[in-house]
Amino acid sequence: MNIVWYRRDLRVNDHLPLSTAAKYGEVLPLYIIEPSLWQGGIYSARHYAFVFESLEELSVRLAEMGGCLFVTIGEAENVFRKLEEAYGTIKVFFHKEKELSKSIRYHCLEKIGIPFQEAPSLNGEKATIQSKMKWIRVLEGESELAPPKLKLPERLPDWLSEPLGKFRNYHVPGDLIPLGQPGGERKAEETLQSFFKGRYMMYEGKEEGLLKASNYSSRLSPYLAWGNISAKTVVKKSLGELKEAKTEEARKAINSFLDSLYSRFLAYGNSLPQKNRQLTIEEKSWNRDEQERIQTGRTGIPIIDASVVSLTKTGWLPYSLRAVLATFLCNGLQLDKQLVKEFLGSLLQDYDPCILDRELELCASFSGKRITVYFHPVRAGKKLDSDGAFIKRYIPELASLPIKYVHEPWRYTGFYTLGYPVPMKDPDTIFKTIKLSAPAAENRPKKYPQSSPEIGEQLSMDLFDE
Ligand SMILES: Cc1cc2nc3c(=O)[nH]c(=O)nc-3n(C[C@H](O)[C@H](O)[C@H](O)COP(=O)(O)OP(=O)(O)OC[C@H]3O[C@@H](n4cnc5c(N)ncnc54)[C@H](O)[C@@H]3O)c2cc1C
């Protein structure tokens, strides 16, 4: 039996394992809900809801192709053993994923001797590509795969015949997102279309303010992270639009978007840059009070709290606020990176282990991408949310404060009547801690180049400007 093992590739279009398996005869597309992944780790209810919506649509699309999606709960190794017992011989087809491949090969399929075929993903396989131009050239030479015709298995084990609806209420810890993005291949396609219909012209429209940031970036991240759309599809669409672009402005916006996609490629394929890593930080755990204040957005530092509340409600933050939050937690509070990863990963709807790991490393080593990272938490707020609209939206206690106090409410004479907490740590002390922890960064020149597409990342500016 040819099994297509779905994981973070929840789509039918441009799906190499599905197309390959279909050539061999009967196909059993399978999603395994692994308790070890979903219980007590980074994955939370908001991720499961997105995945479940994606599975619902996948199931419809596979049925249109003559197939059927099968879902079961169990550890992958046990599920494959049971499938082998049921069918005699099986072969498992799946996408290579940098983060998961090693564990899957060595602790699961390889260990139990089940044949498998990993589809080379553009991300993992072509790690040797050294520049954005070469990456584009490789992609130009690739074609997208249309969904194949499928042949249903004639025989099915009883335990695999449960309707998808049964898994809707599988309990995963954590809260759902009131204002999140719905999962599924169609939503991914619509989001891509709407981006290139006009939103892209304002790509990274920083001058529009944080509240509008979500309109002007692509918002493709959860769809790419859970594989509702392939990176190849997005890049090829962008290259097509680039060819058609009539103005310099349009070309600039699309190129900037391609820089982001190239960063994604780097996060998957390449190891971290080794520069700027002479840090003096000793990472620590958080205490109960600290943890509660951070997780509920009550640190007393408005831009940090507004970011946490926004992330909790929507599952998304623009790059700039992710960087500010990560820098505050990793460098300002010197928290253990694993804790920060768990905290942010469980809230980000687009949680992607490869990207989050890399970005945390880059923030912790003061090398953020294409963004001015203002390490003083109050100055960061003032720069990024100059009219205070973002803070006012997410912290109701500060909604009626005059703008001059929004970023520093403790300076307001009536502060104690607001019901907003005093900072858990003095922002100037945080700034000094950050400064001390980055001797290498402090010695760097103050201004860095505007873009550096060949390396896909960009050093920060204004690191320690007073
Ligand atoms: C601390 C921190 C944590 C992050 N964690 C994640 C994460 O878990 N998952 C995630 O998808 N992105 C993560 N990012 C990268 C980036 O912030 C998000 O991809 C982006 O904000 C998502 O919005 P968008 O899809 O509208 O992005 P766009 O700007 O429209 O970018 C298009 C796509 O390019 C990719 N991309 C953009 N920026 C990066 C980057 N710096 N590195 C790698 N890929 C990138 C994403 O897939 C994104 O969807 C993180 C950034 C920081 C600073």
CATH number given to 185-269: 1.25.40.80
The enclosing H or E element of 304 equals helix 302-314
Pocket test for ligand 1, best of 44, 264, 330, 459 (most atoms within 8 A of CB): 264
Pocket test for ligand 1, best of 201, 260, 361 (most atoms within 8 A of CB): 260
Domain locations in the chain as residue ranges: 2-120, 185-269, 288-442
CA dist 82 and 30 (Å) reads 13
Question: Which amino acid belongs to residue 186?
Answer: R
* Ligand 1 center–CA 319 separation, angstroms: 6
CB 352 near ligand 1, within 6 Å: yes
CB 118 near ligand 1, within 6 Å: no
CB 350 near ligand 1, within 6 Å: yes
Pocket test for ligand 1, best of 344, 348, 355 (most atoms within 8 A of CB): 355
The predicted pLDDT at position 461 comes to 33
* Ligand 1 center–CA 92 separation, angstroms: 30
- Helices (DSSP H) in 148-203: which residue ranges? 185-197
Single out the residue of 145, 153, 158, 80 nearest to residue 119, CA to CA.
Answer: 145
CB 4 near ligand 1, within 6 Å: no
Burial 92-113 (b: 16+ CB within 10 A, else e): bbbbbbbebeeebeeebbeeee
Q: Tell me the average confidence (pLDDT) per consecutive run of 10 residues in the chain, 466 residues long.
A: 96 97 97 94 96 98 97 94 95 81 64 85 58 89 94 94 93 91 97 95 78 90 97 96 95 95 84 48 80 97 98 95 93 92 97 93 70 74 94 97 97 96 94 74 42 36 41
CA dist 291 and 83 (Å) reads 44
Domain 288-442: CATH superfamily is: DNA Cyclobutane Dipyrimidine Photolyase, subunit A, domain 3 (1.10.579.10)
CB 219 near ligand 1, within 6 Å: yes
* Ligand 1 center–CA 217 separation, angstroms: 10
Neighbours of 26 (CB within 10 A): 17
Check if the beta carbon of residue 248 is closer than 8 Å to that of residue 30.
no
The predicted pLDDT at position 108 comes to 75
The predicted pLDDT at position 459 comes to 33
Q: Report residue 214 CA to chain centroid gap.
A: 14
Please give the backbone phi and psi of residue 72, each rounded to the nearest 5 degrees, phi first: -145, 160
CA dist 236 and 242 (Å) reads 10
* Ligand 1 center–CA 267 separation, angstroms: 10
Fold entry, domain 2-120: Rossmann fold (3.40.50)
CA dist 89 and 83 (Å) reads 8
**Closest ligand 1 atom, CA of 317?**
21
